[in-house]
Amino acid sequence: MEYLDKQIKTRLQEKLNKLNEHRPLPKEVVKKLNEQFAIEMTYNSNAIEGNTLTLQETAWVIQDGLTIKGKPMKDHLEARDHYNALAYLYELIEHGEQQTISEMLIRTIHQLVVRETESQTAGTYRTGNVMITGASHTPPDVSNVPSAMRDLISWMRGNQKKLHPVEFAAIVHHKLVNIHPFFDGNGRTARVVMNLLLLQEGYPLATVLKNDRKKYYQVLASADAGDIRPFVRFIAQAVERSLNVYLKIIAPSVKRSEKYLPLSEIANETPYTGKYLNLLARTGKIEAHKEKRNWVTSKDAVERYIKERERQRNLK
């Protein structure tokens, strides 16, 4: 079964190909991009879980070792732990060996993610039952966690080569959160594991934005209820956003004629309303990404969508 529309897969592949054309990247560029993405992901991933540090404060804590007045020490420790977990991913990728995801590796990642804040349970499966606040899904009974994790690893080994890398990484993300194998840090761990799978395939880190927290939980709930496609599409949009950022930095001439603007402005130059463009953006039908809270796209992207629709009609 395919979980992503063909046009989304095509866009992702075209952008990854363009990125690969510029590899190997200069070491200084790689270092700067890795740090920028790691700080951004650390801020957003922690903020989704309630961390109060701003993006700038997160950077100060990580880069300068500062203590932010009025902010809980736990928030500082979470920032450092998460950043170190991503540094571990980069180290694995730098060694150039394809990492086989195992229970031990997942537990190691969890240990890094909560090392300073939950030191007594870091890297160990929960020993009791849990409920997820605000969610209808109830994680497996504690007695079933070890077998559920073994089943997850077995599923991964049987499906990795059958699915598109973004589909595979997104589904693993959901399955891990669904099991909820740890007392704390499940979401952060799942997002890091997902990104290890993406990095291994040449993609940059994909960040679930704090501003998309509500949508993130909605599509996770949809996946819990049996329809995982909205969640996979949501993750694919995060991946495409990261590819756009990378290409903008390393290949500024790519699509330099395209000007990305808010949907309300693009609507004035196309046959569609801003509301309909929003629908197309959210469902991945047009090339679009979020800047802060707002979707942006280009007139060229909408024109490509129109041409593709006409081509599909002519085939019928």
**Amino acid letter at 70?**
G
55 and 109 fall within a common domain: yes
How many Å apart are CA 166 and CA 2, to the nearest integer?
Answer: 11
Tally the domains of the chain.
Answer: 2
The range of the structural domain enclosing residue 172 comes to 6-250
76 is annotated as an active-site residue:
no
pLDDT tens per residue, the chain (316 residues)?
A: 789 999 899 999 999 999 999 888 888 888 999 999 999 999 999 999 999 999 999 999 999 999 999 999 999 999 999 999 999 999 998 877 667 899 999 999 999 999 999 999 999 999 999 988 777 888 999 999 999 999 999 999 999 999 999 999 999 999 999 999 999 999 999 999 999 999 999 999 999 999 999 999 999 999 999 999 999 999 999 999 999 888 888 876 544 556 788 888 888 888 888 888 888 888 778 878 777 778 888 888 888 888 877 776 776 6
Asked whether residue 287 falls in the same domain as residue 208, the answer is no
Residues 175 and 273 in one domain: no
In this prediction the pTM is 0.84
Mention every residue, 6+ apart, whose C-beta is less than 8 A from residue 169. 194, 195, 197, 198, 201, 235
Question: 112 and 47 in one domain?
Answer: yes
The CATH number of residue 134's host domain is: 1.10.3290.10
Q: Are residues 212 and 310 in the same domain?
A: no
Of the candidates 76, 110, 164, 180, the residue annotated as catalytic is 180
CA angle (224, 228, 231) in 5-degree steps = 100
Helices (H), 4-144: 6-21, 27-48, 55-59, 73-94, 103-113
